[in-house]
Amino acid sequence: MAAKWIETLTGSLEQKKQYKQTKARIDGLPEPYATAATAMHRYFMYYGGITDGDTLVTMFGDLADLWERAATDGTPVSAIVGDDPVEFTEEFARAYVGKQWIDKERARLVEAMDRATRGEWS
């Protein structure tokens, strides 16, 4: 009962546990893969805007998988991210659909424009 109440306030405890495990996997990568994965992880926190916990856990798990595989295979970082690491990272994030913080603002914008068009402002 208490756990349910706490999760209502803080979000899923299981998701937090999975996130911490995935972050530990990223932190445990050998160099230069740890640096690349950490940089992408940080960028996602600013760029992604995803608010759905399940989507975030999946995306970060796939990020860890990508760099663990690259480390195992000895694939150079540049062979993965190419010439434009920003484009690669943003494309990676776009592959994950989920509720984003901007969705709420987009809906508010559309609603406001509809009201303004109808002459209903306040």
Residues, the chain: 122
Look up tokens 């999760």; give the residue: 7
CATH classification (class only), 2-118? mainly alpha
Distance CA 73, CA 17 (A): 28
pTM of the model: 0.75
In tens digits, what is the pLDDT along the chain, a chain of 122 residues?
556 655 555 567 888 899 999 999 999 999 999 999 999 999 988 886 776 788 889 999 999 999 999 999 999 999 999 999 999 998 998 888 766 667 788 888 999 999 898 887 65
